Structure 1
Amino acid sequence: MQSHVLVSQDLFCLQLPQLGPVQATICHTRGSSQSGRCLCASDILSCTALGLEQVPGEMPVSAVTLDLSHNLIDQLKGGAFKGLSRLETLRLAHNQLITIHRGAFQNTSGALLRHLDLSSNQLYKLEGHYFQDLSGLEELLLFNNRIVQVEGVALVGLGNLRKAYLSHNLLTDFPFFSIRQHSHPHLTMLDLSSNRLLKLPLEDISNLPILVQKGLYLHNNSLKCECSMFGLFRGWERRGYASVKHFIREHTCCISGLEKGPVRFLQYDGYFENCNLTAMSQPLREQESAVSVSAGKALLLHCVTTLIGRSLTFFWVSPNQEYVAPPGNNGSLKMFANGSLEIVAARAEDSGIYLCMALDHQRRRNETHEVNVTVVPHQESEHYESFNTGFTTLLGCVVSLLLVLMYLYLTPCRCPPCPKAPTPAAPSGGNEAGAGSAQSSILTPTPPATTEGPGRKVSTNKHVVFLEPIREQQNGRLRAGPGAQPRAGETDSIMSAFADTPIMLP
């Protein structure tokens, strides 16, 4: 007969024969007629599905993992786990738990307990003393209960908490103000989905650490359709937060006055077309210490603080030493109750250090935060400059071409009339080489053969800079002497008139 040990709420069975020399034994416990049937394997103690009505007594002190799931336990009395100083994992899922008495986890491992599973029970309220002895707790499972209230101090003291699951309960609100960076620096998962939340305290949520906002699951609630609520989730969606990205269809809200079903507002956002975009961005509280903004654009600055409580007030000091408090100054600066400051239309004089101060009047504490704002001038001038530079270059090329043409065709001829010599008949191919047009004879790098003939005078008072000296070689060949004609098929390249070299006029 094969033995098994139950080690999780999902009835995952560990086959003991694969444990090598470790063998399952019947643990000697008391407190119930069925408690003697608990199984021990190394440091694992399993008492699952035994019909237990209370936690067994005198359990092995060497237990590191204790599984009491799928029983009938309805309460945890004070000192219920006394003596289990090595306990790290405690599973109590699928019981009938209604309450947890003060000191239930006292005299246990305390800081060593990392995983606590209280899911699928009958808990109605999370009181402040439930987890006060579990400072090392990292994972807390409370989903599928009947919780309608979480006291503000219920999670205080859980500084190592990383994940908290409270979905599928009856919550209508939650103490978001109790979670701050200094109180829960490692918290990355807070699941409040499938509850009955009606209205979100956006100011408290905007003050949550960024890691908590990224892992805050709020889908499948009864939220009212409001612009501020829509702005919160739309902003998270644009930032790619998994809590919104993976549950687009499950984010719904109810329109007051309409009996229609809930609206999937992230898929069909027509109801929020007229919402203020600035107000939508208020809950996003990730603020860098140095930001830049284009001139004329709006910029929203957040006063990030670790202070908590409802007695907080905020004010800003601008670079010109102007004191700014809600609702702002004469219109260039707007300030909101949650501490955010909006520069309506950035100007060059708005650049500088902005100092925010948060004051906790109840505890007489304050914190300051600086943001360096740089206003960047309009980039349009650069586009105009590049366009003007290109236009100037094109215009210069056109003018250069016109000057060359004027030089070629409009220069008066000061030479005496030349007698026409009879032109011998020549084949058509020779016309291209010898009897070219005036333009080709001048533009060719090789000087014409009649430059120094009888009755001719060499013109030395006009030069074109792209004409090479006569005595130089071109294209790797020696130039022909005076009077020589180029051979058919042997042509020299003509340099472009659009070259960047300037024209030298007499």
Structure 2
Amino acid sequence: MRTLLSRTWPAVLLGLLLRQTPSSGDEGGCLRAADILSCAGLGLDRPPADAPAWAAVLDLSHNRLTALRAGTFQGLPRLRSVRLAHNRLTAILPGAFRNSSGALLRHLDLSSNKLRAVEVAPFRDLPGLEELLLFDNLLATVERDAVAALAGLRRLYLGHNRLADFPFRAVREHPELVLLDLSWNRLPRLAPEDLTSLPVRLQRALYLHGNPLVCDCDAYRMLRLWELRGYPAVSDFLRDYTCLMYGARGLAVRFLPDFPQLCDSAAVAPQSGEVTVNAGVPALLHCSTALTGEHVTFFWVSPQHEYVAAPGNNGSLSVFANGSLRIAAARAEDSGVYWCMARDAAGRRNETQEVNVTVVTQHAGRDHDTFSTGLTTLLGCAVSLILVLAYLYLPPCRRPPAANEAGSESARSSAAEGPGRDRHVVFVEPPGKRQNGRPRVGGALEGHVGPASLLEPEAHQTQPALVLP
């Protein structure tokens, strides 16, 4: 007998379990408590077909539902709350909530499913819905009028999705919305002109933390104002409000309190520097920071928005253990603003520094040399012109001729006087030859060429005349 019981016990137990497990559409395995019908975790692939009409709370979470088709909840006129979290829903078709409680339904939980869009059509039959949970889905779009169609909606949870945009202007005039959760999505920017125009009641509970926001001073000032006003959506999640320098992942800084260093003139300004380097010459940029310790890591962002961490990239840029950045051979395109960031091991502290690099190219140096040479030439021409004018218009210095000059055999002079100036002409002949031409002596001494003397040319022309002062 004992052997028989030991052999048949597993089969009996399995049979009992199978009897307690409902088939698809069967309500037999659900739990009932007052007006609550809980069918959670039963492996259902569709809602029970014989759900009682008195059910006000229907829990279908942790099942295998893939879609809500038209008429899914018909015959349930008292529903106030439907929980469909942790299923496999990919679609909610129009008319899914038709012929149900309609305006009585207040709470709808669709979290942790596989929905990709929030559309208008499925929610038109729920004018009284106050709380809609859609977090932890695959949502990439929200139709502009989807939220407006839910006129009674007060709380909308869209966190942990893939939203890169949201129609904030569509909820600006919403009469009831007091909470909007967009945390941990993919929003890259915040438009202050859209957010500050929202009702104050919604600004207080607009959750935007956890998004990969690009660092922006206007967004920082808006979040800072909300923090000072004590809005819980900001003050309770300060650590999760981060932004990315130039949009580069890995270069995240906290909006509050680190980002004021770049925006708020009243805050401590980051240390900045100006570096000038010749083209082709290595340059070393230092990252000054108050962070200390062997676990401090450094990151740089180049003017081309290139993220550079130790040890560097392809040899053109190198990052050392102390945070210094080395430019192997400076080029013209290396000019611009470099950002240095230091972060401790826990990632809780960040500091930034700006270094402005100017690369002087050789072409620029040649232009400078050309300009200098041209200026020198211009000055030389001006001096020469002054000397020529002085020679032409200034009277020469007079001195009595020396005795040996009067009887020189190698030179004869002729002076012509004119009004306001004296000119002396000397004809030079080669040594050992007689002077070309016969002078007509007008002076007392033969061989002396005096004023107004003329020379008679012979067959051969004389040597060129030199004009001497």
Q: Tell me the TM-score normalised to structure 2 length.
A: 0.50
Does the Cα contact within 8 Å between 1:31 and 1:55 map onto a contact in 2?
no
The letter for the 1-side match of 2:200 is I
Partner of 1:128: 120
- Write out aligned runs for 1:12-31 (5 A): none
Contact 2:25–2:46 (CA<8 Å) still a contact in 1? no
Return the offset for 1:44: 1.2
User: What is residue 234 of structure 1 aligned with on the other side?
Assistant: 224
For structure 1, which segment, 50-59 or 65-74, has the greater mean C-alpha deviation from structure 2 after superposition? 50-59
Instruction: Report 1:7-156 matches (<5 A).
Output: 32=24, 35-156=27-148
1:193 paired to 2:173: no
Q: 2:238 corresponds to which residue?
A: 248
Cα distance in 2 between the residues matched to 1:113 and 1:29: 29
Q: How does 1:52-451 map to 2 (within 5 A)?
A: 52-181=44-173, 183=174, 185-256=175-246, 260-273=250-263
Amino acid at match of 1:267: P
Conserved in 2, the CA contact under 8 Å of 1:38 and 1:46? yes
* Aligned-pair CA distance for 1:110: 0.7
The separation in 2 between residues aligned to 1:135 and 1:33, in whole angstroms, is: 28
Aligned partners of 1:144, 1:259: CA distance in 2, in Å?
22
Q: Secondary structure at the match of 2:234?
A: helix
1:257 CA displacement? 6.6
Q: Distance in 1 between matches of 2:22 and 2:97?
A: 19
C-alpha spacing 1:42/1:254, structure 2 compared with 1 (3 Å): same
1:61-105, Cα deviation, whole Å (9 max, x unpaired): 111010000100010000100011110010001100001001101
- Alpha-carbon deviation of 1:259? 5.6
Unaligned runs of 5+ in 2: 1-19, 268-469
SS of corresponding position for 1:95? coil
State whether residues 31 and 57 of structure 1, in contact with CA within 8 Å, keep that contact through their aligned partners in structure 2. no
> Aligned letter for 2:198?
L
Asked whether the equivalents of residues 152 and 178 of structure 1 are also in contact (C-alpha less than 8 Å), the reply is: yes
Q: Deviations over 1:4-47 (max 9, x none)?
A: xxxxxxxxxxxxxxxxxxxxxxxx99971654312323211111
Per-residue Cα deviation, 1:106-127 (whole angstroms, up to 9, x for no partner): 1111110001101111111111
Aligned length: 248
1:274 CA drift (Å): 5.4
RMSD: 2.3
Displacement of 1:187: 1.8
Q: Deviations over 1:273-306 (max 9, x none)?
A: 35799xxxxxxxxxxxxxxxxxxxxxxxxxxxxx
Does structure 2 conserve the Cα–Cα contact (< 8 Å) formed by 1:202 and 1:229? yes
Is contact 1:29–1:58 with CA below 8 Å preserved after alignment? no
Residues in 2 aligned to 1:145 and 1:276: alpha-carbon distance in whole angstroms: 42
Distance (whole Å) between structure 1 residues aligned to residue 260 and residue 228 of structure 2: 17
Bigger Cα displacement from structure 2, 28-37 vs 91-100: 28-37
Question: Is the strand fraction higher in 1 or 2?
Answer: 2
Structure 1, unmatched stretches of 5+, are 1-27, 278-506
**Does the 8 Å contact 1:143/1:165 carry over to 2?**
yes
Give the direction of change, closer, same or farther, for the CA distance of 1:36–1:275 in structure 2 (3 Å limit): farther
Would the aligned equivalents of 2:27 and 2:50 in 1 still touch at CA under 8 Å?
no
Moved over 6 A (4+): 28-31
How big is the shift at 1:180? 2.7
CA 1:231–1:66: 2 relative to 1, 3 Å: same
CA displacement at 1:269 relative to structure 2: 2.4
Distance 1:43 1:195, change over 3 A: same
Structure 1 Cα separation of the partners of residues 32 and 260 of structure 2: 60
Cα separation, 2, equivalents of 1:272 and 1:192: 26
| Cα distance in 1, alignment partners of residues 83 and 263 from structure 2 | 48
CA distance in structure 1 between the partners assigned to 2:154 and 2:45 by the alignment: 31
Pairwise CA distance, 1:204: 2.0
* Aligned AA (2:255): F
CA distance in 1, matches of 2:162, 2:266: 32
Partner of 2:356: none
Cα gap change, 1:160 to 1:243, in 2 (>3 Å): same
2:122 partner SS? coil
Q: Secondary structure at the match of 2:180?
A: strand
- Alpha-carbon offset, residue 206 of structure 1: 1.9
Q: Distance in 1 between matches of 2:249 and 2:30?
A: 54
Shift, 1:215, TM fit:
0.4
Matched AA of 1:73: L
SS of 1:190's equivalent?
Answer: strand
**How far apart, in 2, do the equivalents of 1:257 and 1:84 lie?**
50
TM-score normalised by the chain length of structure 1: 0.47
Give aligned-pair identity as a percent.
Answer: 50
Q: In 2, are the aligned partners of 1:74 and 1:99 still within 8 Å (CA)?
A: yes
Please tell me whether the aligned partners of residues 219 and 251 of structure 1 are also in contact (alpha carbons under 8 angstroms): yes
